Structure 1
């Protein structure tokens, strides 16, 4: 197992070095998950991100790793060899033996794909594909979601962060669309209605506002003749507490001063 790990690491580093020379998207598929036409489809998506945002993404799949080797540390070692993206670099790594994934980013890209929050945003999209063994769809979504986060950063000058009511990196303009216009229209209608109503009430000489509810109470309208308390019964229902399930999203990180990112199970 240790020899296999060293060979896989060496082969991956050689492939990354060769890809750096020929400037093609990096896909090292040791686990044999992709057919040739599927690999070309993924490479096309990776190339779009590279051309549009100058961000380089490497896809690496492994059939196994030694138990004492952290997937995050392995991804960081590979990432250190990827330095082609002017605006950042990423390694997306799968370990099929333990069903783990990891997204490693360098210091440039960690400001765009913000730590584990950015990885969690991506994983919400690709985990269903990954669990259903749609690996082509998984890698395509990795590229597309990275592009979305890059678009958000370029437009807003800050990384996407999870906020109340905002579940997408494309949601920045959603709040300025029809919902906001509807709220403004309702508010204006409410103000106009209040002003018209107040004007009509003030013009009526036989109606006066009363601030105390006691003014409407008639003492002679009700008389209590007898009072008695009677206990009926107590109904107690007990239900077992639901057991908390561990999230399948981002549950681990190997980030340090030179690397960001995170990973989890699928």
Structure 2
């Protein structure tokens, strides 16, 4: 009940901020007051351009807190209860200030455009650095731009963007081994073809005894200096823009993480 009450409260606030009770929910709902009025107006214009160009809803919602709810569940509910009038799909970027969490949610239609964690990370890897620097306007505009690129790719290719296939590590290793072996064989052939060079068993064979006379030898130990540098663990990279949590289901796509 708390979840539904918070969702309906937020949607009601959206409706009150519109020109009339029948007006569409605005694309920007800055409940956490992170933007100036001028920034909010500019961001709405940017989002509206993409919405009209591709026939989707592209929302940005900021909240101070959602209690103990999951950001993904909250964002999915925003799409179901408010941002659901895009003829070709709906998408929302949610930012939860007190938890320093972000979440990009899509409906079933845009799930085919923003494919899996990779599709979300195509956007989040670009906008999360702005969130970390508290440059919220930069983050939201970058989100809109990257979402527009995914939509354009889908429109042009008829399928969602996916990252290029990486070469398997074992293929790279095999290529390196083959290269080293080939180098050794070729080098050996070159050495064998030389008439004035023969490999010796001992290092002394290369020493000209008539021109070298070692009188004394001495080792002097001065000092040592050890520097220890902490190695970053995987947990240190949780705010790099990677998707670390998801509430994706049959009717929703998307993912989120921290900043």
Do the two structures share a fold, i.e. TM-score over 0.5?
A: yes
Unaligned runs of 5+ in 2: 167-188, 206-225
Aligned residue number for residue 220 of structure 2: none
1:79 matched to 2:54: no
CA contact (8 A) 2:28 2:61 kept: yes
Q: Which residue, 236, 242, 265 being the options, matches 2:258?
A: 265
- Give the superposition deviation at 1:240: 7.5
- Give the superposition deviation at 1:246: 2.8
Aligned residue number for residue 35 of structure 1: 36
- Give the superposition deviation at 1:222: 5.5
Unaligned runs of 5+ in 1: 166-211, 230-236
For residues 88-107 of structure 1, what are the structure 2 equivalents within 5 Å? 88-107=89-108
- Give the superposition deviation at 1:228: 6.7
The 2-side partners of 1:157 and 1:140 are apart by 25
What whole-Å deviation, never above 9, does each CA across 1:100-131 have from its counterpart, x for those lacking one? 00000001111111122111110111112111
1:242–1:112: structure 2 CA closer, same or farther, 3 Å change rule? Answer: same
1:50–1:227: structure 2 CA closer, same or farther, 3 Å change rule? Answer: closer
1:218–1:112: structure 2 CA closer, same or farther, 3 Å change rule? Answer: same
1:13–1:224: structure 2 CA closer, same or farther, 3 Å change rule? Answer: closer
The 2-side partners of 1:116 and 1:36 are apart by 33
Q: Which residue, 4, 9, 12 being the options, matches 2:10?
A: 12
Cα root mean square deviation, aligned: 3.2
1:224–1:145: structure 2 CA closer, same or farther, 3 Å change rule? Answer: closer
| SS of aligned partner of 1:57 | strand
1:238–1:84: structure 2 CA closer, same or farther, 3 Å change rule? Answer: same
Q: Which residue, 213, 237, 242 being the options, matches 1:246?
A: 237
The 2-side partners of 1:135 and 1:214 are apart by 65
- Give the superposition deviation at 1:73: 0.4
Please give the TM-score of this superposition, normalised by the length of structure 2: 0.70
1:24–1:47: structure 2 CA closer, same or farther, 3 Å change rule? Answer: farther
Please give the TM-score of this superposition, normalised by the length of structure 1: 0.68
- Give the superposition deviation at 1:66: 1.4
Aligned residue number for residue 138 of structure 2: 137
CA contact (8 A) 1:88 1:108 kept: yes
1:133–1:257: structure 2 CA closer, same or farther, 3 Å change rule? Answer: same
